[in-house]
Every structure is written in C-alpha cells, then in structure tokens.
C-alpha cells in the first residue's frame, strides 16, 4: 500500500494571563530584585507566594520580603538542556528554600558539574540583566561564596511598587509530526490523481468520504474503497461575507455541502463559476482541480437539471 503520509505540525500560542494581587506583587518584585513571599495563618512563609493556603484554603494576602540567598533542598543534574530551559549549558534543576521562607521554589542552578552540587548547599539568585516581571527575571541560581546575607528573617513588605506588572504573556511552541493514518493517506494519495475515493462500511454499506477508517454509525473498520463523483449535488450552503485572513478569495462567496454521486456523506467545498446569489439546493456541481493538483480548488455547476430533493434529503 501507499506509504503513510506525514507532515510537520507546529502549535504556537502566546497565552496572556492576568495576575492576582499576590502574583502581581511577586513578579513585580522580581523586576525590582526583591523576592516576596506570603505568610500563612500558622506563620509559615510560602515562596513563591500563592493567594490561598494549600492546606486550609484560607485567603493569603500578608506579603513579606525574603532573602536572595537560600539552601538547596533537592537537585537533579540535567546534562542535556532543552531549547527553552533557563541555561543552554548543563545545569542542575534545584528546589531552593530562600532564607526566611518555609517552602522551596523550582529553578536552575549554574554549576560546574554534578560533583559541585549537593543537598544543603548555599546558593544565591543571579538576576537577569533585563527584567520584565516574570519568573525568568531570575536568570538562575549560582553557588553562594559566603558574602551573601545569611539566615535573613522574613520582613514585612507592602507589596506596592510603582508601575506594577498585572499580567504575563507566556509564549509556547510545540512541534509535532502529523500522520493521518491509513484511511486518510489513501484518500489523499488518490486526490493527487484527481480521484475521490470513499470507503464503504461492511455493515451498513454506506460510503464515507473523506474516509477516516471507521464507520461512525457501526463502529467498525472501513476497508473497501469506492470511487465517487466527480459529479455531486449541493445539499445545503451558506454565503460567506467576511474575508478570512490570508485567504485570497473575494467575498461574498458560497460554501456548500456537496453529496458526491455514490457517497452517503456530504463533504464541503466552495462553489464558484456563478454569482453567489444564484446558488441553490439541489444544484449539480463538479470539482475544479487546483492547478498543481492534489485537491479540488472549488466546485462549479455542471449545467445538468437540479437533483430531486428526495435523492439527497438523507444527507441534508
């Protein structure tokens, strides 16, 4: 059979998130080289701070400042940093309990090698040169040579800064290789030869196009391939009045469901070759192939008499 197709698929999204009062103070503080925590009802200091106590779920608002030095509570050596991770050279992932805090925060530790890292070691924040109010304002941690302030107690802080950060934009990109599977590969391969191939359900005998390998009614595999069309009937349609970005089609145009001859499921396509206000249900159409092949660019009227409603009403 045809080799299964695959193609790169990139998903990119810049998530814009608003911050509550506690997260806003913490991230603005990082911009100003100040680390804030939040004090709980039982006098524990959580860093990074959260708005609700993870144990009692009581609301937390009492901000405190803690040190920029701390102690490693656990670590893991990462010999092969990923493209988005804080350092491009091998580094240690660490949980660090900052001086004055009772909980630990996750970050990266820049160290010479795994032998230079240990639980209990003293570390300090290395600030990013440019800071915007994000967790990455901490470029990483680095071993503390002892000149940093030690065992600093948490001190009260208003959490107020000029020009506070109220939101973050978190960009993300994930790369995939998409494979459509056997049935859709067969369909796409046939399109390259300007053929429309559906698949028949062995149980209910209906022909599905585009085929996805399963009959959605019977839940069984579809294997038998059936050439359908090229002629078809418009079962229903709509008039598109808004131009899609990056799509070079003049509005208004008609988008329709088309029941290809021999198929039991309508597929959709654009209707061209006549004014938009002359398209009607029952109109007979045929595909106009894109110049480099591979897919029908649109469908145009064949000039045949309209199909009788009873012949396509099951597919409306």
Partner 1 sequence: MRDVAIVAFAQSKHARSTAEVSEVELLMPVLHEALDQVELKASDIGFTCSGSSDYLAGRAFSFTMALDGVGAWPPISESHVEMDGAWALYEAWVKILTGEADTALVYSYGKSSPGDVREVLTRQLDPYYVAPLWPDPVALAALQARALIDAGHTSEPELAGVAARSRAAARDNPYAQLTSVRDGGEYVVQPLRRQDCPPVGDGAAAIVLAAGDTARRLCARPAWIRGLDHRIEAHSLGVRDLTDSPSTRLAAERAGLFDAPVDTAELHAPFTSQEVVLRRALRLGDEVTVNPSGGPLAANPMMAAGLIRLGEAAARIHRGDSDRAVAHATSGPCLQQNLVAVLEGDVK
Interacting residues toward partner 1 by CB under 8 A: 4, 6, 9, 11, 15, 17, 19, 23, 27, 46-48, 50, 54-55, 73-79, 82, 84-86, 93-95, 97, 103-108, 114, 119, 134-136, 168, 170, 172, 174-184, 212-221
Among Zn ion, partner 1, none, the one that 129 touches (CB under a kind-dependent 5 to 8 A) is: none
224 near Zn ion, rule: CB under 5 A: no
Residue carrying structure tokens 């992932």? 93
Q: How many beta carbons lie within 10 A of that of residue 146, not counting itself?
A: 9
- The total number of residues shown for the chain amounts to 316
- Return the number of the residue (37 or 211) whose C-beta is nearest Zn ion: 211
Give me the least distance between CB of 230 and Zn ion, in Å please: 24
CA-based nearest residue to 109, from 98, 117, 101: 117
Q: Which one of residues 5, 188, 218, 281 is an interface residue with Zn ion (CB under 5 A)?
A: 218
User: Among residues 95 and 288, whose Cβ is nearest to partner 1?
Assistant: 95
- If the CB atoms of residues 203 and 311 are measured against partner 1, the closer one turns out to be 203
C-beta separation of 108 from 82 below 8 A: no
Residue 201: contacted member of partner 1, Zn ion, none (CB under 5 to 8 Å, by partner type)? Zn ion
4, 153, 204, 316: residue in contact with Zn ion (rule CB under 5 A): 204
Give the three-class secondary structure for 149: coil
Contacted by 213, from partner 1, Zn ion, none: CB < 5 to 8 Å by type: partner 1
Q: Which is nearer to partner 1, 96 or 260 (CB)?
A: 96
The entry of partner 1, Zn ion, none that residue 153 binds, CB within 5 to 8 Å by partner kind: none
Starting at the edge strand found earlier in the chain, the sheet holding 35-39 runs 45-46, 35-39, 63-66, 155-156
CB of 124 to partner 1, least distance (A): 17
Q: Is 217 in the site for Zn ion (CB under 5 A)?
A: yes
CA distance 83 to 198: 43
We find the least distance from the C-beta atom of residue 110 to partner 1, in angstroms, to be: 13
Using DSSP's 3-state secondary structure scheme, residue 217 falls into coil
Q: Which is nearer to partner 1, 215 or 254 (CB)?
A: 215
- Which partner in partner 1, Zn ion, none is near 189 (CB below 5 to 8 A by kind)? none
Q: Are the C-beta atoms of residues 251 and 242 closer than 8 Å to each other?
A: yes
Of 208 and 253, CB closest to partner 1 = 208
> Which residue's CB is nearer to Zn ion, number 203 or number 290?
203
Gyration radius of the chain's alpha carbons? 31
| Euclidean distance between CA atoms 1 and 290, whole angstroms | 25
Look up residue 132 and give its two tokens: 């915007």
| The two structure tokens encoding residue 46 | 């959580």
Cβ-Cβ contacts under 8 Å for 115 (sequence gap 6 or more): none
CB of 306 to partner 1, least distance (A): 29
3-state SS of 81-94 is CCCCCCCCCCEEEE
Q: Give CA–CA dist 207/218, Å, rounded.
A: 12
Residues that bind Zn ion (CB under 5 A): 201, 203-204, 215, 217-218
């Amino acid at each position: 059979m045809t080799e299964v197709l695959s193609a790169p698929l990139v998903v990119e999204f810049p998530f814009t998130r608003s911050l509550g009062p506690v997260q806003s103070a913490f991230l603005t503080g990082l911009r100003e080289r100040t680390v804030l925590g939040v004090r709980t009802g039982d006098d524990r200091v959580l860093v990074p701070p959260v708005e609700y106590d993870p144990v009692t779920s009581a609301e937390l608002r009492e901000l405190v400042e803690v040190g920029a030095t701390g102690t490693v509570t656990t670590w893991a050596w990462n010999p092969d940093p990923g493209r988005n991770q804080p350092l491009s050279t091998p580094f240690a992932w660490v949980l660090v309990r900052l001086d004055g805090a009772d909980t630990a925060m996750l970050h990266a530790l820049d160290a010479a090698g795994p032998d230079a890292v240990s639980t209990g070691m003293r570390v300090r924040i290395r600030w990013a040169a440019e800071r915007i109010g994000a967790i990455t304002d901490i470029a990483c941690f680095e071993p503390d040579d002892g000149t940093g302030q030690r065992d600093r107690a948490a001190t009260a802080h208003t959490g107020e800064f000029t020009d506070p950060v109220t939101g973050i934009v978190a960009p993300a990109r994930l790369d995939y290789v998409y494979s459509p599977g056997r049935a859709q590969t067969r369909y796409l391969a046939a399109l390259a030869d300007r053929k429309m191939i559906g698949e028949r359900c062995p149980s209910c005998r209906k022909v599905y196009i585009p085929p996805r390998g399963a009959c959605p009614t019977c839940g069984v595999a579809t294997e038998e391939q059936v050439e359908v069309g090229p002629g078809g009937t418009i079962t229903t349609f709509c008039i598109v009045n808004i131009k899609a970005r990056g799509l070079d089609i003049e509005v208004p145009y008609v988008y329709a469901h088309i029941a290809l001859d021999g198929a039991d499921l309508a597929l959709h396509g654009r209707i061209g070759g006549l004014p938009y206000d002359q398209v009607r249900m029952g109109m007979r159409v045929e595909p106009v192939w894109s110049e480099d092949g591979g897919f029908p660019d649109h469908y145009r009227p064949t000039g045949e008499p309209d199909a009788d409603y009873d012949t396509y009403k099951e597919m409306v």
